[in-house]
Amino acid sequence: AAHGATCAALLPHVMAVNLQVIRGRDSNVDLAARFDEIGRILTGNPAAVGEDGVAWLMDLCEAMEVPSLGSHGLTHADFPALIEKAIVSSSMKGNPVQLTKAEMTEILKRAM
């Protein structure tokens, strides 16, 4: 799969899981406020929160017909190897929270 298509397929799911972590196990008010601001920017709604931004991105991906990861031949059997590569990738260093393997698996499942 092309890099951009893969990123597009993953983005709303990564944001959703990041929000779950930020509002849950790794409670972080400052990060939550930043995600809420993203929600307001994406939706144009001054009352929006981060989850509204996630919904907006999911709608955009659907409207743009962004293919799922599964449509590129990815299977659940590929998840462990992908996650191991993701853990050491430079892009994970920029993620606002440290994700567990279970959380990364959840992202991949959602993007299928």
User: Domain of 43?
Assistant: 3-110
> DSSP of 50-91, one letter per residue?
HHHHHHHHHHHHHHTTPPPSGGGT--GGGHHHHHHHHHTSHH
What tens digit of pLDDT does each residue of 35-65 get?
999 999 999 999 999 999 999 999 999 999 9
- At 22, which CATH number? 1.20.1090.10
User: How many structural domains compose the chain?
Assistant: 1
Grade residue 91 by pLDDT with cuts at 50, 70 and 90: confident
1 versus 83: the higher-pLDDT residue is 83
Grade residue 93 by pLDDT with cuts at 50, 70 and 90: confident
